[in-house]
Structures are given as structure tokens and as C-alpha cells.
Amino acid sequence: MPEQIKTHPCVPGSRQSPGFLPHLPLPGTIADNHVAIADMADAFGVTHRTLHFYEEKGLLSADRMGPMRVYGQEDIRRMTVINACREIDMPIAAIQDLMSALGSSTSQKDAAQIFEDALHARKRELAAQQSILRRQMQRISELLESVADGDNPERTALSPIHLSPIETKCLTFMAEGYPANRIATMMDMDLTAVLTLESDIIRKFNGHNRFQAVAKAVLLGFVSAE
């Protein structure tokens, strides 16, 4: 039977219509209904304060069983989705948007597709961040080399530059002034891969940016000045 989402109170981020949730495994230590807040926190490895925060954001809604706060099956399954999103560092605003979209889903298949789309979007974000971090690490290496070269003038001579066919093709497009996104289209490559390729070319020509790399490439005869 599909896991249908219950309607939560009217608070920021809550849904006003039922929907469906993607199938995700529940923690093995948790019951499937009427879970006390302490057990909920232990099962998902979070604090009581975190659960209260999710309630404030309209992502969860605890029930009352006498003086005790408890969570029903729907919220246990919602927490499974929320926790999975937090494990990949998805922002709270994005989780709210995701849960809102799931609240409008019309079938289990629809919910699965919504969740899959959200995961792909997050994967693209992380890939972009990874590319930035890679370039920053490369820049740190270049700066460290510059410091070392300053202490040892004999190391300042350029080593022979060797470019692969794909690097030569990319360099040609760079020299023609095409931006990275346009080069990605022309070379039928992912933008992240092209940015990495450009970073490698810049490093090989000991430049600080693509313009310096192209200028040195022209001087060394790798590309035409025309």
C-alpha cells in the first residue's frame, strides 16, 4: 500500500493536500507507528532540538499521547526522506520545496520521479562545487610552486608543454574567445569536464587565468595569432 502523506497544520513549508512519499528503508531500530520523540531522535541520530526545528519548518508534526509527544507512521516515513536529504547536505529550503512537491504528487510513481529529480539536481550542485574546489586546490598548488620558485631561481625554467588532442581542441576554442559553456556544447562535453580541462591547460602554461594561458600558447606557437 502506498505511503500517503497526511496533511499538516498550516505552518510555513507545510502541505495543504495529501500526497505520496518515495520508498526508502526505515531505520531498523524504529517501530512503524507511535514513536516517542526520544526514540525518533535515537533512530535517526538527531537531537530533540532538530526534530523541533523540523516541526517549526512544517516538515514534521508530532501528535500528543497524554503528556508525551509521538510521531505516527507518516511522519516516520517523512523523517526518512528528510534525513536522507540532510545526509547529502541539501538546504532546508530545498527540502521544504521537495516535501511540498511530494505533497502534490498524485501517485507513488510521481513521488519517486520528484525525489529522483531532486537527487539529480543536488548531484549537479555538488559536481559544480567539486569543480570549484578542484580549481582552488590547483591554485593553491600554483601559489606554493611560485613561493618555492622564488627561493630557487633555477626552477623558473618552463618544462616542455605537452597537450593531448582534446586539450589542443579546447585550447583552440579558448583562443577564439568561446566561453566554457559554449565549448562544452561544441565538444559535446559536460560543463564541469570542460572547466577541468581549461584548468589543466592554464596550469600547463603556468597562467593565472585563461587569457594568460592563451597568450602564452600563441607565443609558443600552439595556436595561431590570427
What pLDDT was estimated at residue 13?
40
- For the cut 80, the answer to whether the pLDDT of residue 203 exceeds it is yes
- The architecture in CATH of the region 159-226 reads Orthogonal Bundle (1.10)
Nearest 5°: CA angle at 23, between 50 and 1? 115
> What is the spatial distance between Cα 159 and Cα 59, in angstroms, rounded to a whole number?
57
Q: Give the residue-averaged pLDDT of 206-213.
A: 88
pTM for this predicted structure: 0.60
Whether the pLDDT of residue 105 is over 90: the answer is: yes
DSSP 27: P
Domain 4-118: assigned CATH number: 1.10.1660.10
What is the enclosing helix (H) or strand (E) of 52?
helix 48-56
Domain limits, the chain: 4-118, 159-226
Cell of 63: 501528535
Tell me the mean pLDDT in the region 96-107.
96
222: DSSP letter: S
Predicted local distance difference test score (pLDDT) of residue 102: 96
3-class DSSP assignment, residue 86: helix
What does the pLDDT read at residue 97? 96
Cβ atoms within 10 A of the Cβ of 40, count? 24
